[in-house]
Structure 1
Amino acid sequence: MTVYFNLTSTPLPISVESLGNQWSQVSLQRMQGYPLYHWLQTETGKGEIWIENKKIILEEKEGILIAPFVPHAYYPLGDDWVTNFITFEGHLKNHFNEILSNQTYILAKDQENFSFSKHIQQMITVFEDEAQRLNLSVLCYQFLLQLGQAQEPIQEHPLFQKYIEPGIKEIQTNYHDSLTVEEIAQKLFISSQYFTRLFKKFMNQSPYQYLIDFRIRQAKELLINEPDLPVQIIATKVGFDSTSQFIHVFKKRTQSTPKKFRSLY
């Protein structure tokens, strides 16, 4: 078993926080998600992932990348679930969503042309050689690109390109405004009902749910990264009409008040 934590003290385009393999994975519940991108892959045995009200079984060589602050839980199935993992962030984190096509999680597995588990081992080897440690950021970027290519190419579907992609961009650009699904659909020259049906088909949630989830994720980042910023200001910055509405929605989504969530970090 090889495990390292708090790997990077110098800010980098991509900074690896933790890295390991041959790890005997125990049950874990993260009702608030994790503040960084998190990869988990089965080496031997198998595990069960619960995410977005879905159950996913990770067999050998299968892995999952989970975006920051996405609630999830996982459990070993059987006596021993051995995994590898990596958590990362960095200056390029605003571009991670583009590489990963705005997915909250991605499933991938080892292939003949690329093995995620072998790449993790390569990263461990590089980290153990102090002279090469800065190369860890490059290797993590390569890892991220492979994950982006591993997902199903829904972004190539004409309807996704015509309506969903610009709809997502509109949400991510103007989430701090009083944005409505009707306004987004109007800009795309389609009805809000049709836009909602398409969005659910491709994204497995309504555009309103996506907007609220995106606002909450942005709020979580502000709560952690700007600890002195008042909750009232954060509520406005992420697009809520009032502080009370923000606190109500935040608690409903996370089972925690913004103040309590901030105290956890």
Structure 2
Amino acid sequence: MDHYRKQIMLTHLDKKLPMFVEAFGWNVGESEFDRPDGYHCYHWLHTTAGSGEFRFSGKKITLSVNEGILLKPNVPHFYTPLTDPWSTWYITFGGAQIGAILDALDLAESTVISWEPSSPIASMHKKASKIAGAPYGFAGLDSSVTLYRFLTDIKKFGRADNMRSLSHYHERLLPLMRYLEEVYHDPAVGLEDMARYAGLSPQHLNHLFRTATGMSPYQFLIHLRIQKAKEELVGPGDRTIKAIAAQVGFLDASHFVSTFRRLEQKTPEQFRRLHR
């Protein structure tokens, strides 16, 4: 399918979803478009070939290949081709919880977002063609799932204001995360050890972790130890809390219990009874 435009028939149940797709399409020859009153839904547009000029809120930007923009509802905008052809892919969407979901994903709005040609975003216009050509069934539900995956791909692979993507930071930290999987049981492991393994200063490592995970390296290690403890608690046998604490890297059982309660809102024994 070289091009398509799909309007989703939304049922009453679809409109109750946290998010829903109104329409999406691939225009291989985009034309000039003026919306002085904006659009009533969230509107994403990105370039698949050529380039175009996009104007909004007194700004003028160029959208080249693998660049897109997300606009809130009712933002006046205008766009026009700079090349012939200018090919674009768009999706419009809404939902009772869409604002909260976008806030949670912390997606940049009214800003050019770019991505690598190898990212899933670059081939979205081809993948979505299968949905566009499908017969009606659970179109509202299926497109809602596709929308959520697309938004999370923007979060993972998109670069706003020429910043590095989230996936870049995760790839940079992946060897260290694998290392921590091997040594989490050692209570002597600390920030200096992690920085030494990663070949970074503690300050830079802390910056990378906070950017990629929202927590410090040490907080990540504590969460990893608690995750491993949860696996032990629901496993076979009746090992003591003290033994499990020592196995996952805590020197003191009382510290383990207080940390577990703080992160899980229940004690290790309560967690064990709940899951066994």
- Calculate the TM-score normalised by the size of structure 1: 0.51
Identity %: 29
Alignment partner, residue 126 of structure 1? 131
The 1-side partners of 2:34 and 2:66 are apart by 22
Comparing 71-80 and 129-138, the one that deviates more: 129-138
**Closer, same or farther: CA 74–22 of 1 in aligned 2, 3 Å:** closer
Unaligned runs of 5+ in 1: 154-265
- 1:4 is aligned to 2:6: yes
Q: Say whether the 8 Å CA contact 2:28–2:85 is kept in structure 1.
A: no
What SS does structure 2 have at the residue aligned with 1:55?
strand
The 1-side partners of 2:69 and 2:76 are apart by 14
2:94 aligned residue (52, 69, 89): 89
How much has 1:120 moved relative to structure 2? Answer: 3.6
The 1-side partners of 2:85 and 2:128 are apart by 24
The amino acid of 1:80's aligned partner reads P
Q: Say whether the 8 Å CA contact 1:3–1:23 is kept in structure 2.
A: no
Alignment partner, residue 209 of structure 2? none
What SS does structure 2 have at the residue aligned with 1:91?
coil
How do 1:121-160 and structure 2 match up within 5 A?
121-129=126-134, 130-131=136-137, 133=139, 134-149=141-156, 150-152=158-160
- Calculate the TM-score normalised by the size of structure 2: 0.49
The amino acid of 2:82's aligned partner reads L
Alignment partner, residue 190 of structure 2? none
Alignment partner, residue 27 of structure 1? 32
The 2-side partners of 1:44 and 1:110 are apart by 14
Alignment partner, residue 61 of structure 1? 66
CA RMSD of aligned residues (A): 2.7
What SS does structure 2 have at the residue aligned with 1:40?
strand
Q: Say whether the 8 Å CA contact 1:109–1:116 is kept in structure 2.
A: no
Larger radius of gyration: 2
Q: Deviations over 1:141-180 (max 9, x none)?
A: 1212233442549xxxxxxxxxxxxxxxxxxxxxxxxxxx
How much has 1:34 moved relative to structure 2? Answer: 1.0
How do 1:1-265 and structure 2 match up within 5 A?
1-9=3-11, 10-11=14-15, 12-99=17-104, 101=106, 103-111=108-116, 114-129=119-134, 130-131=136-137, 133=139, 134-149=141-156, 150-152=158-160
The 1-side partners of 2:77 and 2:67 are apart by 17
Q: Deviations over 1:209-254 (max 9, x none)?
A: xxxxxxxxxxxxxxxxxxxxxxxxxxxxxxxxxxxxxxxxxxxxxx
How much has 1:131 moved relative to structure 2? Answer: 4.8
What SS does structure 1 have at the residue aligned with 2:130?
helix
The amino acid of 1:35's aligned partner reads H
**Closer, same or farther: CA 54–119 of 1 in aligned 2, 3 Å:** same
How much has 1:103 moved relative to structure 2? Answer: 4.6
Unaligned runs of 5+ in 2: 162-276
